[in-house]
Structure 1
Amino acid sequence: MNIKHVEHIGIAMPSEEESLQLGRLLFGREPDTVEEVSSQKVKTYIYRVGQTKIEFLVPTSEDSTIAKFLSDRGQGLHHLAFAVDSVEEAIQELKEKGVRMIDESPREGVEGTRIAFIHPKSTGRVLVELVEGE
């Protein structure tokens, strides 16, 4: 598996307004992209910082994984995402090494990407996302 760079850092946020306020505070601007991913019940506020993106993740439903994360742990770092050449190949390679995957096959991510999550039990309790498409 060839990790090319940190693709983005996902931060769970309780609301759109708090996401926009933090973006203005940190970056002095509005998000570069705002996108809702209905399959994940999340709205993303994306700020490009060099080659990496910061994604503020706001739940769009009380039964989303981000809503559960906020309820259990509060606002903060949700996951790290790494760009890879092929998510499908990365999944296969990791499974062959005994790594536990949340996603057994790629799924839709923001900005037309294909993604897969590695289970935190295999990565030192850090949720890791693999991203193809950049």
Structure 2
Amino acid sequence: MLMRIDHVGIACENLDEKIAFYRSVFDVKVVAREINEEQGVEEAMLHVADGEGGGSYIQLLEPLGPDTPVGKFLARRGEGVHHIAYGVSDIVAAMEHIGGEGVRLLDKSPRHGAMGTSIAFLHPKDVGGVLTELVESPPRPS
């Protein structure tokens, strides 16, 4: 069911500073940057590599305010790994299967993610303490 590690989400206080750090240290390129009002973040996707199942990224997340999920995360834990995301080919089928195994879904249906993806989150208490995201990439152009 899981095709790849799609991205690792990293919460940060200052998106521009973290982008500059990752560019200089790891020589990665920003392939998308957007504000996601629904999730309360400004995010940047930094390309790491391509594989058979699609690309792998580092997702940097700066909260739009202190009362957002990432803002609360930063207040509790400080900067660092926020979540891990796995690529799936069919997010609805993955959600049905995983939910059927007793894992709580934080999303009842897929929602909009970065770069046109469909995403859904799993409850961290049911996945070893790790906030886990499922990602279905949009169809590739022919």
Into which bin does the TM-score normalised by the smaller protein fall? over 0.9
Q: What's the offset of the Cα at 1:101?
A: 1.2
1:15 aligns with 2:19: no
Contact 2:15 2:43 in 1 (8 A): no
Distance 1:29 1:86 in 2: 28
Q: CA RMSD in A?
A: 1.4
Q: What's the offset of the Cα at 1:64?
A: 1.0
Distance 1:18 1:42 in 2: 16
The letter for the 2-side match of 1:75 is E
Contact 1:117 1:127 in 2 (8 A): yes
Q: What's the offset of the Cα at 1:61?
A: 2.0
Q: What's the offset of the Cα at 1:36?
A: 1.2
Distance 1:6 1:29 in 2: 17
Which of 80-89 and 20-29 deviates more? Answer: 20-29
TM-score, length-scaled by structure 2: 0.87
Distance 2:6 2:122 in 1: 15
Q: What's the offset of the Cα at 1:26?
A: 2.4
Q: What's the offset of the Cα at 1:30?
A: 5.2
Please point out which of 95, 98, 101 is paired with 1:97: 101
1:83 aligns with 2:82: no
1:132 aligns with 2:132: no
Q: What's the offset of the Cα at 1:17?
A: 2.9
The number of aligned residues is: 133
- Map Cα deviations across residues 30-74 of structure 1 (whole Å, 9 max, x no partner): 522211111111111111011310011011122211000000000
- Aligned-residue identity in percent: 37
**Map 1:1-80 → 2, pairs under 5 A:** 2-28=1-27, 31-51=30-50, 52-80=56-84
The answer for unaligned runs of 5 or more in structure 1 is: none
Q: What's the offset of the Cα at 1:29?
A: 5.6
Contact 1:81 1:130 in 2 (8 A): yes
The answer for unaligned runs of 5 or more in structure 2 is: 51-55
TM-score, length-scaled by structure 1: 0.92
- Map Cα deviations across residues 59-101 of structure 1 (whole Å, 9 max, x no partner): 1122211000000000000111000011111111111111111
The letter for the 2-side match of 1:49 is V
